[in-house]
A and B are shown apart, each in its own frame.
Chain A
């Protein structure tokens, strides 16, 4: 891949299903990203508050354990960390017009691993 940036950004992966989290994490690691894992929105916000190297947020929508779902997390992140691009992944049908913040992308579950990697690489190029 000639267009692969020299340094892949850190991806914060928010997913409450351990199996799916594990597989997405492996897929992104194999593609050269550094992956941070969070099981729900509240843990993800803690990570963002404590680190300044998060380059991309990828989140599931339906996460009953946190205080907010993935859409709310995406809007909050777009507001507080506008430089971090947001990818939303869900099996819950298509999002409504006000669900996602401007510039966020949506991929329905299940997804092709190559689609996921391609989308995140495009984010990385945009951020660079």
Chain B
């Protein structure tokens, strides 16, 4: 538009360049010139006005356009908003029904888990109790009355748990565990429950159950019956003590045998030989004892062992007869040592030192029922003529003090020329196992 206005001005300028010749003409030219300037100014003014008008129109157009854009955006925004609201409602709805389904599912799970727990409690041999913070029983599993030896649950519910533990150390342990649980700490311990005449042992776990505020609200106590375990432990301890006692006793015997052997020996070589033989006899007697669980020994077995040891593999050197008896362990050991001494002596100086010699071992139980007596006899024959020993050795001294000595019986060692004879006579009750 400004280009068009410029072209018009060029045309007017060309008109103004017409040559001037005289005064009249000059004036005429001057007035034309003035008019021309005036017209040009008017024209410029008109152009400017037109331009301003155009500019204004353009601005207005822009405003209108922008206004139109703005309302279109607003409409779009409103539409989007309402769509979003719709979607949100739809989501809310879906969410709500999903939550409902979840809740129902959870409810089912809880019910199943509750049932599961109930079944665990039902099948468990443990006694489960829920206590309040004062230690009173709120819930007790089905086996509770049996555990505490009461008629029914009514005798337990509301009662202080600790009151049922009558043994002082057990009650103290229970109370300490409750204190710990109140302070939020679990505790595990063993306690003894005296119930009438019977005594039971329990392994108990006590745990705090926290409330919503994270502090202990209730206390869970689970007790397991370990009575049998405790009884086994006690039995084992007793067995170990008994074993220790017997080993010590055996070692004391070995010590005495060694000392006695050295005390009475003619030479160190003789002592070594005698000691070895005595300990071997003791070991064989222990084997017989083992068959009786180390608490008794069969007399026939003990005699049989001695016969094997001293018979030299020749049949018929011993004639053995007597009813089998179960002797007390110590009686059995002593008898085995005695038989060993008799056999060794017979092999050295007596009937077993010649091929024709014989030994008869006989015993019997005689006398009335309430005063049974045990009579035992070792009798040698067919050996060289016997002369009584100049001094009493280990064997004869042992015989004098053994078996019959402690139980009010008598032992007699005789040396007739025909062969050594031992007779033993003692109350049976003092010798047999029982």
Contact = CB atoms under 8 A, between A and B. Distances in A.
A22 B397 contact: yes
Contacts of A22: 256, 260, 397-398, 401
A99 interface: no
A28 to B, nearest CB: 12
B334 A27 contact: no
Interface stretch (A11-19, A51-59, A67-75, A117-125): A11-19
Interface string B220-260: 00000000000000000000010011001101110111011
B61 interface: no
Contact of A65 (B257, B259, B406): B406
| Residue in A18, A20, A108, A110 whose Cβ sees the most chain B Cβ within 10 Å | A18
A23 B406 contact: no
A19 B259 CA distance: 11
A16 to B, nearest CB: 4
Interface string A14-54: 00111111111011000000000101100000000000000
B248 A19 contact: no
Contacts of B255: 23, 110
B158 to A, nearest CB: 43
B430 interface: yes
Interface size class of B (residues with CB under 8 A): 20 to 34
Contact of B253 (A20, A24, A65): A20
Contacts of B252: 20, 91, 109-110
Nearest to B247: A91
Given A17-B334, A18-B401, A19-B398, A40 B256 contact: no
A92 interface: yes
Given A27-B259, A65-B430, A91 B402 contact: no
A108 B401 CA distance: 23
B256 A19 contact: yes
B405 interface: yes
A113 interface: yes
A18 B249 contact: no
B281 interface: no
Nearest to A20: B256
A30 B190 CA distance: 55
Contact of B398 (A18, A27, A91): A18
A23 B430 contact: no
A65 B429 CA distance: 10
Contacts of A26: 259-260, 263
Given A19-B256, A40-B406, A91 B248 contact: yes
B244 A19 contact: no
A96 interface: no
A40 B401 CA distance: 12
B260, B337, B405, B406 pick with most chain A CB within 10 angstroms: B406
Contacts of B398: 18-19, 22
Contacts of A20: 252-253, 256
Interface string B364-408: 000000000000000000000000000000000110111101111
Contacts of B129: none
A21 B334 CA distance: 12
A91 B251 CA distance: 10
A93 interface: yes
Contacts of B407: 39, 65
Interface string B323-353: 0000000100010010000000000000000
26 contacts: A17-B406, A18-B334, A18-B402, A18-B403, A19-B253, A19-B260, A19-B401, A22-B260, A22-B401, A23-B256, A23-B260, A24-B256, A26-B259, A27-B259, A39-B407, A40-B406, A65-B406, A65-B407, A65-B408, A91-B245, A91-B248, A92-B245, A93-B245, A110-B248, A110-B251, A110-B252
Given A19-B334, A39-B406, 19 more contacts: A17-B249, A17-B334, A18-B398, A18-B402, A19-B256, A19-B401, A22-B260, A22-B401, A26-B259, A27-B259, A37-B401, A39-B405, A65-B407, A91-B249, A92-B245, A93-B241, A109-B248, A110-B255, A113-B259
